[in-house]
Amino acid sequence: MFILKKIATQICLGSTLMMTLPYTYSYAAEAVRPQVTNYVVKNINIAELPVKTIVPITASTAAQALAQAQVIADNPDADLAEFRVDLLAFAADSKKVIALGKQLNQILKHKPLIATIRTHNEGGKLTVTDQEYEKIYREYLKQPFMQLLDIEMFRDQGSVERLTKLAHDKNVLVIMSNHDFKQTPDEQEIVNRLLKQDQLGADILKIAVMPQSKQDVFSLMNATLKVSEQSKKPLLTMSMGRLGTISRIATANMGGNLSFGMIGEASAPGQIDVTQLKQFLNTVQPTP
């Protein structure tokens, strides 16, 4: 049995939310065996507290992307940057993307860079086949400009496995991800998806879901805690929208390791300013 009431009070969710909270779990008989690896990227240990903040680069042009990268580099509250390739006007031009990615990496200096193609299937801007998706990422990985690569778990499983292996061969960490902008799956389904990512070889397990109720927010938070007790891999989980904003802060107490903030334009609903996010995280997270 696990009781979340204490932590719910700590993060000021209010009595209404606490009344909806489920207090018990029934754990699956078999758990994924935890795998230990090196999560130090550019001298930042992603797997350890404090929770690390990620700020997205949401530009449509190269000039905008370079300017945003400089702002992230100069902001002490931003720990990592995510390069949202799909938002570029030239997202389908791998040569231009790679050239820009190298420039971004240089600007960010000691801050790790995540390369992400968020496809239309998962709320992004780029529509590609599984074969095209794999081909593009293979081009990126010939001479990686990123330290972390976001791979969507629901692409062709063969492609996912091959890209994950190739990334590891190139010393690039894999964030395996799933996004649902319409609803929140039930708690056990969220757990199952995250543990499936673990089984597929992901280094960081990610899911983002859209809540339709307060209970949905707790389902995401509870699932995060449950997975954190079955896998030692870093977790990046969030309930989106204003209703789910608290999950971006509460991740510090639920076993999460990373949280998205923003400087200027958000890349997903519910993101808050990274400086505010860092302050909230520092207030609520346990002492390492």
Q: Is residue 91 helix, strand or coil?
A: coil
Q: Is residue 260 helix, strand or coil?
A: strand
Torsion angle (degrees, nearest 10) of CA 35, 38, 40, 42: -130
**Known catalytic residue at 206:** yes
271 known ligand binder = yes
Given 6, 110, 168, 179, the catalytic residue: 179
Q: How far apart are the first and last CA of the chain?
A: 24
Query: How far is the CA of 175 from the CAs of 53, 148, 258, in angstroms?
Result: 15, 7, 11
Q: Which of 135, 157, 155, 137 is nearest to 146 (CA)?
A: 137
Name the token pair of 6: 């204490």
DSSP string, 162-175: HHHHHHHHTT-EEE
260 known ligand binder = no
Residue identified by tokens 């791979």 is: 151
181 known ligand binder = no
162 known ligand binder = no
**What's phi and psi for 251, nearest 5 deg?**
-55, -30
Given 52, 111, 206, 214, the catalytic residue: 206
189 known ligand binder = no
Annotated binding site: 82-84, 118, 248, 267, 271
Which residues are the active-site residues? Answer: 179, 206
Annotated binding site for 3-dehydroquinate: 82-84, 118, 248, 267, 271
